[in-house]
Amino acid sequence: MQTRQLGNSDVQITPIILGTWQAGKAYWVGIEDDEIIKAIRAACDAGITTIDTAEVYGDGYSEKIVAKAIEDRRSRVVIASKVFANHLKYDQVLAACERSLKNLHTDYLDLYQIHWPSGSFNSEVVPIEETMSALNKLLEQGKIRAIGVSNFSCEQIAEAAQYGRIDSLQPPYSLFWRQVEDDAMPYCIENKISILAYSSLAQGLLTGKFTAEQTFPDEDVRSKNKLFQGENYQRALAAVEKLRAIAERHNCTLAQLSLAWLIAQPQSNAIAGARNASQATDNAQAAQVQLSDEELQEMDRISRDVTQHLDKNPVMWNF
């Protein structure tokens, strides 16, 4: 798989990135460690060399699973992790990075990201200058290779960039969730900041595997996702059926089609999770799907049937 430059750094990432929130098990059901390890290894074998995780995914459990999966191939893998909103003081950032390095059995992270802005989830408000100072220190020490932010608005990215180079933004972004296009994307394009889109398949909605009668238990994060509720859900299912015809033209799955659309957007790369090896391999093949300008425009029109009814709040869940 052809790689792309991460922001203005010397890190090279794959346009399809393996997400490992599910490896932490919290907020997910039916996850098996052995299957996730096989999925990570299968993703690497299929050309996905970039893996995204975070300290908060299962309180470090996801990072530990990633470590097991890549122990014999660390030098060929790009690892991105994140520090959570409750660890953004100077010393807390340094300590959180050390924990992630230990969990991942490595002495450096290719990308280290602020997971949520300070103050999120009732966390203490910490000046961004203090957090960036710690991240810059980690850069100097060689413990991280690039700095990124996640769930930041355009204004918040610009403020952070006053204190150091920001190479990536990780927002929720998919055919069915496009608020970033009206906020941070123009800034990212202008400043060559890579967009690493999470929930790129709208938590499975864009795979076409769900039905109108589907229900989700409280412990499943989808039960709190706005796209899976009421008329939003029904509109999304109708849009999926329209997308199916385009996928058939390319002899690809709906998931591959949706990922192909996403990585064709400016500065955009797609984080896609996988429960097993088959899903990971299928996701990797999305990089081979080439969409025409007309098809990209057609998919844009179809997606608007869903997105035009959503509010401006970029957070996907009613936590």
| pLDDT tens figures, 276-300 | 999 999 999 999 999 999 999 999 9
CATH of the domain at 153: 3.20.20.100
Taking residues 39-51, report their average pLDDT: 97
31 domain-assigned: yes
Q: Find the catalytic residue in 27, 57, 108, 163.
A: 57
Band of pLDDT at residue 165, cut at 50, 70 and 90? very high
35 domain-assigned: yes
196 domain-assigned: yes
17 domain-assigned: yes
Question: Cα separations (Å) of 91 from 54, 95, 251, 294?
Answer: 18, 6, 51, 51
309 domain-assigned: no
Share of the chain above pLDDT 70, in %: 100
The answer to whether residue 319 scores a pLDDT higher than 80 is no
Taking residues 169-193, report their average pLDDT: 97
Taking residues 41-60, report their average pLDDT: 97
Structure token pair of residue 2: 């052809």
pLDDT, the chain, mean: 96
Number of compact structural domains in the chain: 1
228 domain-assigned: no
Domain containing 265 equals 4-206+254-290
Judge contact between 39 and 68, C-beta under 8 A. no
| pLDDT tens figures, 12-44 | 999 999 999 999 988 787 889 999 999 999 999
Judge contact between 121 and 315, C-beta under 8 A. no
Judge contact between 157 and 184, C-beta under 8 A. yes
Its pTM stands at 0.96
The answer to whether residue 315 scores a pLDDT higher than 90 is no
Find how far residue 28's CA is from the centre of its chain: 16
12 domain-assigned: yes
Residue 163 has a pLDDT of 98
222 domain-assigned: no
Active site residue 27: no
